[in-house]
Amino acid sequence: MTYDTIILGAGAAGMMCAAHCGGRVLVIDHAKAPGEKIRISGGGRCNFTNIYAAPDNFLSQNPHFCKSALARYTQWDFIDLANRHDVAWHEKTLGQLFCDGSSKQIIAMLLTEMERAGAELWVQTSLRFLRKSDAGFALEVEREGQRHSLTCNNLVLATGGKSIPKMGATGLAYDIAQQFGLRLTNTRAGLVPFTFSDGKFKDLSGVSLPARLSNDRTGFDEALLFTHRGLSGPSVLQLSSYWCEGEAIRVNLIPDLPLYDLLRDQRQASGRKDLSTELARHLPGRLVDYLGQQLLVSGKLADQSDTKLAELTKALSDWHLVPSGTEGYRTAEVTLGGIDTDDLSSKTMEAKEIPGLYAIGEAVDVTGWLGGYNFQWAWSSGHAAGTAIAGD
């Protein structure tokens, strides 16, 4: 069977690309259903974009690469698409947009767009063989126990990265890229919890609070969650993408709280009150108990000098920790690194030296922040490749 375009991967980027390619298009995926990462995202409501999405919210060895695709298909374009399909949505914190209903609405919308474009979809289909041919690409796939020989002019790598292998994630896009001579940047888990081998936060599991996590390169003010394995929550996931193994992180437990002044005022007004009791008015009680052992917090407010209060405030606002590692691809939301952008056209996502070969979405060395940015990259890069193939 001959197609104009075959897309490997029926995720966000692959389906968006299929909706814009034109011609005879086939989308192949080894999963039982398309859009599995879309389905589970955002607690089942899909954080499908972010109203503040901009190039500065993405990591890549070439920070300029994502600019063209993001400019040609913006968050507002996707919002308009959702509106046209009557997908109700709402904004949560920091510009994150979620479906009012189910993430399945986004999948259904993309499938409808694919159907209108005439694209075919084969799920539970495995790639068995792939080579470059004179006319494009030759593939052999297995579907429902049958082998099928396929040819196409254009081949799109949209199989994602290595994150969440229990959902079937593999490094297939990287293997194919290397088969055709494309380079890869180092890959690692991104948007992932930190772990501590000594189990130091086991007793705090479930405690959460607003915090600022930072290192020498950046910082994020969002929620922090203690777990039995270490640290999680939005601030942790964000910083993990900028963290290097063995590096210390800084935790500010009171980012917007003038604790020193508050403690001094209470010392004046209620000096007989225990210091730990006063701290528990501003921080979770279990955290205060834990820190009380670590920082030797004890005594009445009246017993605390200005120096002691300043030292306590400093300790709570600049807590240095060295994670043992991360939870890895098992729970990572994205894969950092991937197909080297120097080998791709930023306008079309086509390989510079392999005409007809395209790479989009998470397979490429472009990774967004937490909060809908990675879906926006999927929409933008998929649109870029699709319209390029269609000649638009």
Q: For residue 319, what pLDDT is reported?
A: 95
DSSP one-letter string for 253-266: S-TT--HHHHHHHH
Q: Stretch 157-162: mean pLDDT, rounded?
A: 94
Radius of gyration of the chain (CA): 25
pLDDT in tens, 70-119: 999 999 999 999 999 999 999 999 999 999 999 999 999 999 999 999 99
Q: Using the structure block, give the residue that is written with the tokens 């080998």.
A: 343
Q: Are 160 and 361 in contact (CB under 8 A)?
A: yes
- Position 269: which residue type? A
Does residue 187 surpass a pLDDT of 90? yes
Query: What does the alpha-carbon distance between residue 230 and residue 202 come to, in Å, rounded to a whole number?
Result: 7
Query: What does the alpha-carbon distance between residue 5 and residue 163 come to, in Å, rounded to a whole number?
Result: 26
Distance from chain centroid for Cα 242: 13
Query: What does the alpha-carbon distance between residue 235 and residue 219 come to, in Å, rounded to a whole number?
Result: 8
Q: For residue 164, what pLDDT is reported?
A: 82
For the chain, how many residues are written?
A: 392
Q: Stretch 199-227: mean pLDDT, rounded?
A: 96
Q: For residue 345, what pLDDT is reported?
A: 98
Q: Stretch 210-216: mean pLDDT, rounded?
A: 97
Query: What does the alpha-carbon distance between residue 266 and residue 58 come to, in Å, rounded to a whole number?
Result: 44
- Can you give the pTM of this predicted structure? 0.95
Query: What does the alpha-carbon distance between residue 128 and residue 368 come to, in Å, rounded to a whole number?
Result: 31
Structure confidence at residue 165 as a pLDDT band (50, 70, 90): confident
Q: Are 321 and 198 in contact (CB under 8 A)?
A: no
pLDDT in tens, 297-342: 788 999 989 999 999 999 999 999 999 999 999 999 999 999 999 9
Q: For residue 168, what pLDDT is reported?
A: 78
| Burial readout 72-86 (b: 16 or more C-beta within 10 A, e: otherwise) | ebbbeebbebbeeee
Q: For residue 58, what pLDDT is reported?
A: 98
- Pairing mode, if any, of strands 230-232 and 219-226? antiparallel
Q: For residue 59, what pLDDT is reported?
A: 98
Q: Stretch 225-251: mean pLDDT, rounded?
A: 97
Q: For residue 87, what pLDDT is reported?
A: 98
Three-point CA angle 46, 368, 324, nearest 5°? 100
Q: What average pLDDT does the structure give for the chain? A: 95
| Three-state DSSP class for residue 217 | coil
pLDDT, greater one: 25 or 294? 25
Q: Are 129 and 137 in contact (CB under 8 A)?
A: no
Residue percentage of the chain with pLDDT more than 90: 90
Q: For residue 45, what pLDDT is reported?
A: 96
Q: For residue 80, what pLDDT is reported?
A: 98
